[in-house]
Chain A
Amino acid sequence: MAGAPTSFLSLKGPPVEGGVSELGVSRLSSVLAYREVGVLAAILGFLAAFAAVNPSMLSAEAITRVLNLASDRGIVAVGVAFLMIGGEFDLSVGSVYGLSALTFIELVNHGVDPLLAVALVLAIAAAIGVGNAALTLYGGIPSFIATLGTMWIIRAFIYVYTGGLSRFAEADLGAASLFYRELAGGLATSALIFAAVAAVFHFILTSTPFGNHLQAVGGAPGVARALGISITRVKTLAFIASSVLAAVGGLVYAARFKSVEAVTGVELPLEVIAASVIGGCSLQGGVGTILGAALGALLVSEISVGLVLAGVPGYWYIGFIGALLVVAGVINQRLGWRGE
């Protein structure tokens, strides 16, 4: 390592006043600082509540349904949370998700090899990620607005191309059908992909220099710049990650339903940003974990399954997510490291 630390300061003198150093306090607050604790409690609380209304919520079938439902949404939430920790939004993930499912199905229907189609879909998504990054970083538009724009542009393309109708996969999806295949016990491969994606991105965020830089760029861009970290490079890679993971989610959808609707993914941005915030991501950037966002996606899916089993009309679903989002936002603000 360049500039290896060799010289320590050896100053004698009284310690600086004002630091809190009570061990007990720091232990307690460090447990509370793990924001996953809150969302985990919510998952268990809702499980108990739904089970009280309908005991079949605890059945293996219901649990695998939650996991399968959480998987494509969770994969997208991981990317959105990753980018959000880097201080930027991606509202275009729902449109990229829909576009990816559509492009994949259309390519396969036109005789393109399914694996080549996967590669093309991911490349298109990466290009959209670069576009979002360019609009935000070079265009100087807040990413909220830039990706709101690309969200509508891509969605309009989908509407125009499909005429507002569905498309069905007519050819065999080949190896690409592995994006969603139910295994023994009903658990789908997509849940395993979700777990793997979450593990990899958790590792990148917490255990690599890039993850360190991403946290700094999101939470303290001035500091990052002063220390010589390229904000453009770090954020561009995070935009690409968000877009590519949205495409993976879309591929899971296509492999599962072998069809795509013009409105596929329209509600996804709300759901995945909610999942990220519920999981402890700060809208201001710099704060949050991948594990939290993944658990947030799990909670969102648990609620959607639970409401069905409880016999609540499906229209209530988004209301629940909205309420949960608001509560999580308030709790995060209280728990936050912000405004000490």
Chain B
Amino acid sequence: MPPLIELRGIVKRFGAVTALKGVDFHIDHGEVVGLVGDNGAGKSTLAKIIVGYYKPDEGEIYYEGERIEIKSPAHARRLGIEIVYQDMALAPYMSVWRNLFLSREVVKRIGPIRILDKKRMREMARSFLAEIGVRRRDPDAPIGKLSGGERQSIAIARAVFFDAKLVVLDEPTSALSIKETERVLDLIREMSRRGIASILISHNIYHVYNVADRIVVLDHGRKVLDVEKDRVTPEDIIDVIAHRKTPQQVLGRG
């Protein structure tokens, strides 16, 4: 079976700066890959290429074995790729149900007019909140009134709700308490059990190590390490990122 998504030789330039210098990357169905590296390593750029935000200048993308071009975030979503940004996934002034169905509204048609089926969306939102363990069950509550952990849970679970195959999580735990973080990491594990792949971008190596099957380290636009988690320790990863150890030193010991 081909990987869910595979990127080969990805190059991305922004003016004089080359953010990605020929990166290969792949992820399988249900796999959890931690994407780590220092600031400016190219993690977010790579993620934004996967979710259709940027187009690579060079390189190829294969989705379930087929060569494709990801034209836009909307296109990525149709393919089953979702992104969950830190504080960027939900519109704070809009209600839970409006957020949940944003850009994928359930509608009734009256002639050419598409009318929101609010009753149905509210009902679905209510059971959805119950299932992900959010205590506040009011689908009309504005998202901004929910806790950070609840918001992040909703953002992640929304992807599952809409049958995503790959969820890209950009710093999903950076603003959360320890308990909320555990909850989010639980959600990632649950997604994996359901065959949904996750790319987890985080500065917190311990969070990544906690849930990832494999860890990819980027450094100044190049992939310097791509290793099954069991072969390394979190400290190894930190040492590679901080240039205290070479990738060869880390791998050689395994």
B65 at the binding interface (Cβ < 8 Å): no
Tell me which of B93, B115, B146 contacts A19 (CB under 8 A).
B146
Nearest CB in chain B: distance from A146 CB, A? 25
B3 at the binding interface (Cβ < 8 Å): no
Which of chain B's residues have a CB closer than 8 A to the CB of A227? 73-74, 77, 102-103
Chain B interface residue count, Cβ-Cβ cutoff 8 angstroms: 67
Nearest CB in chain B: distance from A331 CB, A? 17
Specify which of A18, A20, A207, A211 lies most central, judged by the most chain B CB atoms within 10 Å of its CB.
A18
A182–B157 alpha-carbon span in the complex (Å): 56
Which of chain A's residues have a CB closer than 8 A to the CB of B74? 227-229
Q: A216-B91, A228-B103, A286-B93 are in contact. Are A20 and B186 (CB under 8 A)?
A: no
Tell me which of A16, A30, A211, A287 contacts B133 (CB under 8 A).
A16
A313 at the binding interface (Cβ < 8 Å): no
Tell me which of B102, B118, B157, B179 contacts A207 (CB under 8 A).
B118
| Cβ A219 vs Cβ B149 within 8 A | no
List the A residue with the shortest CB-CB distance to B128.
A8
| Cβ B190 vs Cβ A11 within 8 A | yes
| Cβ B179 vs Cβ A223 within 8 A | no
Chain A interface residue count, Cβ-Cβ cutoff 8 angstroms: 49
Which of chain A's residues have a CB closer than 8 A to the CB of B177? 17-18
Interface string of B15-52 (1 = CB under 8 A from A): 00000000000000000000000000000000000010
Interface string of B133-154 (1 = CB under 8 A from A): 1111110111011111110010
- Of the stretches B160-168, B216-224, B227-235, B237-245, the one at the interface is B160-168
| Cβ A3 vs Cβ B163 within 8 A | yes
Q: List 24 A-B contacts (CB under 8 A).
A: A2-B78, A3-B162, A6-B163, A7-B163, A8-B131, A11-B133, A11-B187, A16-B133, A16-B134, A17-B177, A18-B147, A19-B150, A21-B135, A208-B116, A213-B103, A215-B93, A215-B98, A219-B91, A219-B92, A222-B85, A223-B102, A228-B76, A340-B92, A340-B145
Which of chain B's residues have a CB closer than 8 A to the CB of A17? 147, 149, 177, 179-180
Which of chain A's residues have a CB closer than 8 A to the CB of B162? 3, 5
| Cβ A226 vs Cβ B83 within 8 A | yes
List the B residue with the shortest CB-CB distance to A222.
B88
Nearest CB in chain B: distance from A324 CB, A? 24
| Cβ B131 vs Cβ A18 within 8 A | no
A319 at the binding interface (Cβ < 8 Å): no
| Cβ A14 vs Cβ B163 within 8 A | no
Tell me which of A26, A208, A223, A228 contacts B90 (CB under 8 A).
A223
A residues at B contact (CB < 8 Å): 1-21, 26, 29-30, 33, 206-209, 211-213, 215-216, 219-220, 222-229, 286-287, 337-338, 340
Which of chain B's residues have a CB closer than 8 A to the CB of A6? 163
List the A residue with the shortest CB-CB distance to B182.
A13
List the B residue with the shortest CB-CB distance to A14.
B133
Nearest CB in chain B: distance from A222 CB, A? 5
List the A residue with the shortest CB-CB distance to B115.
A207
Which of chain A's residues have a CB closer than 8 A to the CB of B77? 227-228
Which of chain A's residues have a CB closer than 8 A to the CB of B186? 11, 13
A93–B85 alpha-carbon span in the complex (Å): 37
B105 at the binding interface (Cβ < 8 Å): yes
Which of chain B's residues have a CB closer than 8 A to the CB of A225? 73
Tell me which of B51, B131, B135, B144 contacts A16 (CB under 8 A).
B135
B residues at A contact (CB < 8 Å): 51, 53, 72-78, 80, 83, 85, 88-94, 98, 101-107, 113-116, 118, 124, 127-128, 131-138, 140-142, 144-150, 153, 157, 160-163, 177, 179-180, 183, 186-187, 190, 194
Which of chain B's residues have a CB closer than 8 A to the CB of A211? 116
A17–B147 alpha-carbon span in the complex (Å): 8
A225–B74 alpha-carbon span in the complex (Å): 9
| Cβ A16 vs Cβ B161 within 8 A | no
Tell me which of A30, A207, A337 contacts B92 (CB under 8 A).
A337
| Cβ A337 vs Cβ B73 within 8 A | no
List the B residue with the shortest CB-CB distance to A285.
B93
| Cβ B135 vs Cβ A15 within 8 A | yes
A198–B186 alpha-carbon span in the complex (Å): 47
Nearest CB in chain B: distance from A234 CB, A? 11
Please name 7 further chain A to chain B contacts, defined as beta carbons within 8 Å, in addition to the given A5-B163, A226-B89, A227-B73, sorted by A numbering: A3-B80, A5-B162, A26-B138, A207-B118, A213-B102, A215-B93, A340-B144
| Cβ B147 vs Cβ A223 within 8 A | no
Q: A1-B104, A8-B127, A16-B147 are in contact. Are A220 and B92 (CB under 8 A)?
A: yes
Which of chain B's residues have a CB closer than 8 A to the CB of A14? 133
List the A residue with the shortest CB-CB distance to B80.
A3
Which of chain A's residues have a CB closer than 8 A to the CB of B115? 207-208
Nearest CB in chain B: distance from A31 CB, A? 12
| Cβ B91 vs Cβ A286 within 8 A | yes
A9–B161 alpha-carbon span in the complex (Å): 7
A286–B91 alpha-carbon span in the complex (Å): 9
Tell me which of B76, B85, B91, B190 contacts A9 (CB under 8 A).
B190
| Cβ A226 vs Cβ B85 within 8 A | yes
| Cβ A16 vs Cβ B179 within 8 A | yes
Which of chain A's residues have a CB closer than 8 A to the CB of B51? 226
